[in-house]
Structure 1
Amino acid sequence: MLRLLAVLVLLSASVHANDFVDNGWLAPENLPDYLNQFQKQQQQARLELDGQRYPLGFLDMDLEEQRAYLSFDQGVIVAELGDESDGERELVILLGNPDDLDAMMEAPDKVLIDEQAQLTTEGDNSVFRSLLEDEQSGARQQALLVFNDSVFEAGSSSLNVVGHQAILKGDLGTNAYLQLRTLIRTHPEVTELVFQDVPGSLFDGINLHSGRLVRQAGLTTVMPSDGEAYSGGVDLFLAGAKRIYQPGGKLGVHSWCCKEDKGADELPKSHPAHHAQLTFVREMLGPELGPEFYFYTLEVAPFDGIHLMSHDEIRHYLKPQPF
């Protein structure tokens, strides 16, 4: 359960936390307004470089170094955030083949850098204005980077329809909710949601609503023998009206962080911070097994670790059919 709140704590000086999210959870009555704001923000977020406009994706956040790693279809952006909202920050753009990020990060085709890029807060947006210098040629070019909550909430998910199945991969977020909603509306032939590679959720608040879409549509969730789902991906898997598990598939769970500077496993079971997740798992697994499963996930691994569920644990908690 990757927690967007950890990101928003770091960005609070430069990015306005979403008005519709309370303690990381999104109330059903706030969902329509939230989606409307998300889509408006997503249209604003962009990189402008060499006269071209590129949409942004979220890659990672280094909380210790206070740097955001963003993707676009020509490479990777590394933006220094810092503790203050406005001022000079380092901005680096690595150009290369984004299909192999590790190799590109290690040996980019070009490195563009500005150690004094101007960061300002403009409404919901954090805006970098920069004159980047090519490390090799010394050539300079102007860049504009605009990002906001939507970049960190969107995720990287994709859905590919093959017959009666929809193949899901990537980090879950608000895009996954929108993709599932469209899938259900436009592909009535799809009865199974197959988990290929789902590392987790960037925004658990919307992920719970994605799970409710899956359950309401009566979709079967399938973990194939070569598939894997972790954290919020497991939350979405358990939302299936029926669950199919093939031995070899990986399901990983852990605790979450943080509330009152404590991990969820350190909070009393009666703490209100558990309420949203407990409500969800009760809906999906029942009034007894749901809470049992939720507190089990908090106990078996810390928020920065992972526990791969054993076959016995999968059989007990998730009750796949057949097993």
Structure 2
Amino acid sequence: MHAPSSQKQFGIFKVLDNNTSVEMNGEVNSQSLTNFTSLTTAYPNITIIHIKTCDGSSDDDVNLQLSALVHKKKINTHIVDGGLVASGGTDFFLAGVERSKGSNTKIGVHSWAGNDQEATDFPEGHIEHRKYIEYYVSVGFSQTQAKSFYYFTINAAPASSIHWMTDAEIQQYSLLTKISR
């Protein structure tokens, strides 16, 4: 007997009928880590998150903690056909041990901002950049790849805008670990 659908929805995450896949749709917020922890407690065999849309996060610290948890649990991420990730959503996508995407997807990046400053206000190597570079390393990027991708993202567009990555950029920065056909 299947659990009622209300028990399969955990904030922006919905457990699919096979009980090993999750659909993600929405912005990561301050409750997303708690919701995902509850989900994986109730459904411990999750192997993949299918991302419809995640255009960012309203809480960067929660997003990085949530993303680290996804990676630690060896869960894969996939952007579905027509799906979109941007900003913190791109960081979340990178948590997947294996990362793939369907067709007609968008991956967006830009600088972060906080306390009336943008990432580009700080010189390369500044401590303000460290948590993002360390995050990319923690999900499998080499130190060189992590720095290269991070500085690309913050210089690609200001915080008030977005840069949609080209296929060449996605390949250059090794965002996909497997190619979907």
TM-score range, shorter chain: 0.7 to 0.9
- Size of the aligned set, in residue pairs, is 167
TM-score normalised according to structure 1 size? 0.49
Gaps of 5+ in 1: 1-155
Structural mapping, 1:113-132, within 5 Å: none
- Partners of 1:244 and 1:183 lie apart in 2 by 22
* Aligned partners of 1:157 and 1:171 also within 8 Å: no
- Partners of 2:160 and 2:29 lie apart in 1 by 19
> Which of 173, 177, 180 is the matching residue for 1:320?
177
2:37 is the counterpart of 1:181: yes
Letter in 2 for 1:320: T
Name which structure has the greater RCO, CA cutoff 8 Å, separation 6+.
2
SS at 1:225's partner residue? strand
- Partners of 1:256 and 1:158 lie apart in 2 by 22
- Partners of 2:98 and 2:65 lie apart in 1 by 18
**Partner of residue 15, structure 2:** 161
**Partner of residue 267, structure 1:** 122
TM-score normalised according to structure 2 size? 0.86
Say what the alpha-carbon RMSD is for the aligned residues: 1.6
Q: Displacement of 1:175 after TM fit?
A: 1.4
2:125 is the counterpart of 1:288: no
Letter in 2 for 1:169: N
SS at 2:66's partner residue? helix
- Partners of 2:38 and 2:144 lie apart in 1 by 33
- Partners of 1:269 and 1:207 lie apart in 2 by 23
**Partner of residue 234, structure 1:** 90
Structural mapping, 1:1-323, within 5 Å: 157-162=11-16, 163=18, 164-258=20-114, 261-284=116-139, 285-317=141-173, 318-323=175-180
Letter in 1 for 2:68: R
Q: Displacement of 1:246 after TM fit?
A: 1.6
SS at 2:136's partner residue? helix
- Partners of 1:204 and 1:168 lie apart in 2 by 17
Specify the structure having the higher radius of gyration (Cα): 1
- Partners of 1:226 and 1:157 lie apart in 2 by 21
- CA deviation digits over 1:55-101, x for unaligned, max 9? xxxxxxxxxxxxxxxxxxxxxxxxxxxxxxxxxxxxxxxxxxxxxxx
Q: Displacement of 1:190 after TM fit?
A: 1.9
- Partners of 1:207 and 1:262 lie apart in 2 by 20
Structure 1 or 2: more strand by fraction: 1
Change (3 A) 1:298 1:254: same
Task: State the percentage of identical aligned residues.
Answer: 28
Letter in 2 for 1:280: Y
Structure 1 or 2: more helix by fraction: 2
